[in-house]
Structures are given as C-alpha cells and as structure tokens.
Amino acid sequence: MRSIVRSRSTNRVLLILAGVFLLAGCAASPSLPATEVDESTVEETSAGTGLISESEFLDLVSDFPMFEGADDGSLIELGRSTCDVMKAGGDDGWIYNVKNLTDNGIDAQDAGELIAYSVAAFCPEEMSKLP
C-alpha cells in the first residue's frame, strides 16, 4: 500500500472545502435568477470565462500565508466551491462563504479577498452579490 502525504496547507484547504460543500447544500435554493455580465470585460480562460485567469487566481491566493504549500488543484477547487456557495446562497452567498472561511481560521479580510478572487475567476456573473 502506498501512503499519501499531504502538506498542512493542502489539508487545511480540504477542510475548508468540506465546509463550503456543506454550506452549498444548506444554502441551496430553487432556481436563482441569472445576473447579466458585461461580456466586453470577460476574458476566456482555461477555467471558462472569468475576469481574471485561473493562473492569476492561483498567483493571488497562493500568497495567503494559510495556503502556503497548498497544491494548485485544491486551491482551484476551493475557488470553484466558493462560487457554488455564491450561486446556491442567493443574495446571501457571500455571507455563507465569509462565515465558513472565518470559522476555519481565515481572518475576515483574507476571506473577503479569497471570495472576490474566486468570483472574478470562476463565476463573474455573481459579482453583483458582493458587498
């Protein structure tokens, strides 16, 4: 049997992801209205359409001390999961995200930045829900 060793940062990202998935399920609401996006400001990226590219997202969030050493795949999944909560939580999606992130030891300012970067990269149509 092969053992898998993960960095502490990757484990932390996975713990946060578990909370985000739980919140996405709790916050789910039937058919949320779509928000229009100014297509002239959206750039095509490897992750789909975003205001920033996936690599720019990784550059921004990998600078957070709590994510030092976390693997790119876990950070991308965290960003996408953050968007899932934004979509499922309606107008309060950002509140659910801040609560989950701060409950997992991320300070409020870093949580706000992570949410903003996630939305810009993976779900710009949710931008209007940010405070």
Mean pLDDT by 10 residues, the chain (131 residues): 45 55 43 39 49 95 88 94 93 91 90 95 94 87
Q: Tell me what pLDDT residue 2 has.
A: 35
Q: Tell me what pLDDT residue 15 has.
A: 55
- Indicate the number of domains in the chain: 1
> Would you say residue 46 lies in a domain?
no
Closest CA to 85 of 96, 76, 77, 75: 96
Domain that holds residue 122: 13-27+53-129
Q: Tell me what pLDDT residue 68 has.
A: 85
Contact by Cβ (8 Å): 28, 92? no
Q: Tell me what pLDDT residue 37 has.
A: 39
**Could you count the other beta carbons within 10 Å of the beta carbon of residue 32?**
16
> Would you say residue 99 lies in a domain?
yes
> Would you say residue 6 lies in a domain?
no
> Would you say residue 98 lies in a domain?
yes
| pTM (predicted TM-score) | 0.66
Q: Tell me what pLDDT residue 3 has.
A: 36
Cα separation, 112 vs 84, whole angstroms: 16
Contact by Cβ (8 Å): 55, 130? no
Cα separation, 78 vs 12, whole angstroms: 11
